[in-house]
Chains A and B, each alone.
Chain A
Amino acid sequence: MSAASIVEVVLIGFGVAVELACCVGVLVMEDAYDKLHYLGPAAIVGPFAIAVAVVVREALSQAGIKALLTAALLIVASPVLSHATARALYIRQRDHVESTSRRPG
């Protein structure tokens, strides 16, 4: 087993472990805001580790570049999606509070 193969296996294992830990975090946390925190490492650390593993094996070939591009897209998209989701949750909660405070009685 070459050094590159060992690095690949370590990176794959690390990426998979991060993803599974984030899945458990999304499941266990009670609030949607808390669950959102676990999207960050899942969309940044895991894809980056897997993309680097692909590059270690394939170098900067077509596959390596596409893997890096996919990881980059996930890394850029994750904060945008988290912000949009948190904003939606905030607006829903604010509207709910305002509608209940306006209720006569």
Chain B
Amino acid sequence: MNAWLIGATVLVLGLVPCAVVMLRGSVVEALVGLQMAGVLQTIVLLLLAEGFHRPPFFDLALVLALLALAGGLVFARMLERWV
């Protein structure tokens, strides 16, 4: 186990506060928690790709960052208008 994998494992623990915010907060606070979780997961994928020496896995982090942006914008627009 190298420093990259240890960092990824520690960062996964950061999802717990995000989950607490999503479960206990208002809908907008839940959106903030979701965005934070998206950033965390992107970094975890970066660390795992480097930790396992698999350069193609960096594509997963890149795609997740892109999809988190799109998903966050859609949720924000939806909260603004309908929910």
Q: Which residues on A are within 8 Å of B, measured CB to CB? A: 8-9, 12-13, 15-16, 19-20, 22-24, 26-27, 32, 35-36, 38-39, 42-43, 46-47, 50-51, 53-54, 57-58, 61-63, 66-67, 69-70, 73-74, 77-78, 80-81, 84-85, 87-89, 91-92
Partner of A23, one of B17, B68, B80: B17
Min CB–CB distance B68 → chain A (angstroms): 7
Binding site of B, secondary structure by majority: helix, strand, loop or mixed?
helix
Interface residues of chain B, those whose CB is within 8 Å of chain A, are: 3-4, 7, 10-11, 13-14, 17-18, 20-21, 25-26, 28-29, 31-33, 35-36, 39-40, 42-43, 46-47, 49-50, 55, 58-59, 61-62, 65-66, 68-69, 72-73, 76-77, 79-80
For B21, B28, B31, B68, the residue with the greatest tally of chain A CB atoms inside 10 Å of its CB is: B28
The residues of A that contact B47 with a CB separation of less than 8 Å are 12, 50
Prevailing SS type, chain A contact patch: helix
Complex interface: chain A residues within 8 A of B13 (CB): 20
Asked whether, in the complex, the Cβ of B73 is within 8 Å of the Cβ of A16, the reply is no
Complex interface: chain B residues within 8 A of A89 (CB) = 28, 79
Listed residue (A42, A54, A81, A87) with the most chain B CB atoms within 10 angstroms of its CB: A81
Q: Give the residues in chain A near B39, CB-CB below 8 Å.
A: 19, 39, 42-43, 46-47, 74, 78
Q: Which single member of A23, A27, A92 contacts B40 (CB below 8 Å)?
A: A23
